[in-house]
Amino acid sequence: MNAISLLRRDAEAFVAPPLTIATHAVDALVAEARLTPKPALVDERGSGAHRDLNLDTMLRSAHALQPTFLAIARAACGVQPSQALREQLARIGREGECSMMRATNGSNAHRGAIWIVGLLCAGAAMHAPDDSDAICTSAAAIAQYDDRYAPASVATSHGARVSERYRVAGARGEAREGFPHARLVGLPALDNARARGLAESDARLDALIAIIASLDDTCLLHRGGTTALTTAQRGAKRVMRAGGAGTNEGRAALARLDAELLALNASPGGAADLLAATLFLDSLRRLA
């Protein structure tokens, strides 16, 4: 079923108001930032492998993006994926990036999340909040269009160069494929952990670890090459084999992964963005 058919099917279904969508997007970024302990990422303990970021900076960035997510959701209300919409959202996203940079004094806290969560905000403005598949399908349809007005710097960004060098999908590929690491990895891991009775923080850590284990994270590749990526994926799989964040063995394996990535000065920032996407989709499901 294509995105247009999904829109027609949802024509009379409940769609969350733009303000609700934006609020849930910000809440997801805040929840991801506060989740502790994450391997080599900013959390309640400290800055992880990031010298220019801390929890306060991440929270200021998240709240500064609320108008951006609101504008994206409003732009996508009642319309279909199109070239015009893609370019409108890109303009809003660039303005949002400027707001983020002002809030963080120049630190890139959420550039990837503006793209990933922003597209999902657009999808959420088109479909019932509990229809994660439809939301991701429409977000992917928007991402298929190129932004003809993108600045030249986009093609030479860290993510773009890493994607080309290592032949990995990156954030753009993840979006165009329908966010498989949020929809098919993060959400099932979250649901499985909750079904096992884990505390919510442990369930969210398990979702993050599952994403790290399978994602070709361009943030890791940029900061530490294939060594960092392999270390992260192997370490995440050890955590999973040990029973996850809800077990003593799993917590020990998670601490080991944290130490290994800190030693490489590398962090799984792409996985963190996709955890935020997972938490956003999950929070929307609860509205239905």
Q: Who has greater pLDDT, 161 or 264?
A: 264
pLDDT for 185-234, tens place per residue? Answer: 999 999 999 999 999 999 999 999 999 999 999 999 999 999 999 999 99
Main-chain phi, psi angles of 139, to 5 degrees = -60, -40
CA distance 114 to 93: 6
The number of helix segments (H) and strand segments (E) in the chain equals 15, 0
Q: Which of 187, 192, 190, 206 is nearest to 245 (CA)?
A: 206
As a whole number, mean pLDDT of residues 143-162 equals 76
Could you identify the residue written with the tokens 């993050």? 208
- Lowest pLDDT segment from 9-23, 34-48, 139-153, 266-280: 9-23
Q: How confident is the model at residue 163 (pLDDT cuts 50, 70, 90)?
A: confident
CA distance 89 to 70: 11
pLDDT value of position 151: 74
CB 274 within 8 A of CB 174: yes
CA distance 260 to 266: 9
* Residues 6 or more apart whose Cβ sits within 8 Å of residue 95: 68, 71
DSSP 218-275: HHHHHHHHHHHHHHHHHHHHHHHHTT-TTSHHHHHHHHHHHHHHHHTT---HHHHHHH
Residue 10 has pLDDT above 60, yes or no: no
How many other C-beta atoms lie within 10 A of the C-beta of residue 21?
28
Q: How many domains does the chain have?
A: 1
* Residues 6 or more apart whose Cβ sits within 8 Å of residue 218: 158, 159, 162, 163, 166, 168, 170, 171, 270
Q: How confident is the model at residue 8 (pLDDT cuts 50, 70, 90)?
A: very low
As a whole number, mean pLDDT of residues 13-34 equals 96
Q: How confident is the model at residue 173 (pLDDT cuts 50, 70, 90)?
A: very high
pLDDT value of position 143: 97
Residue 1 has pLDDT above 90, yes or no: no
pLDDT value of position 166: 81
Residue 241 has pLDDT above 60, yes or no: yes
pLDDT value of position 170: 86
CA distance 109 to 103: 10
pLDDT value of position 164: 80
Residue 11 has pLDDT above 80, yes or no: no
Residue 4 has pLDDT above 60, yes or no: no
Average pLDDT, the chain: 93
- Which two structure tokens, joined as six digits, stand for 242? 């040990």
CA distance 26 to 58: 11
Q: How confident is the model at residue 162 (pLDDT cuts 50, 70, 90)?
A: confident
Domain span including residue 170: 3-285
Residue 135 has pLDDT above 90, yes or no: yes
Helix (H/G/I), strand (E/B), else coil: 59: helix
Q: What is the DSSP letter of 156?
A: G
pLDDT value of position 12: 47
CA distance 58 to 70: 19
pLDDT for 73-130, tens place per residue? Answer: 999 999 999 999 999 999 999 999 999 999 999 999 999 999 999 999 999 999 999 9
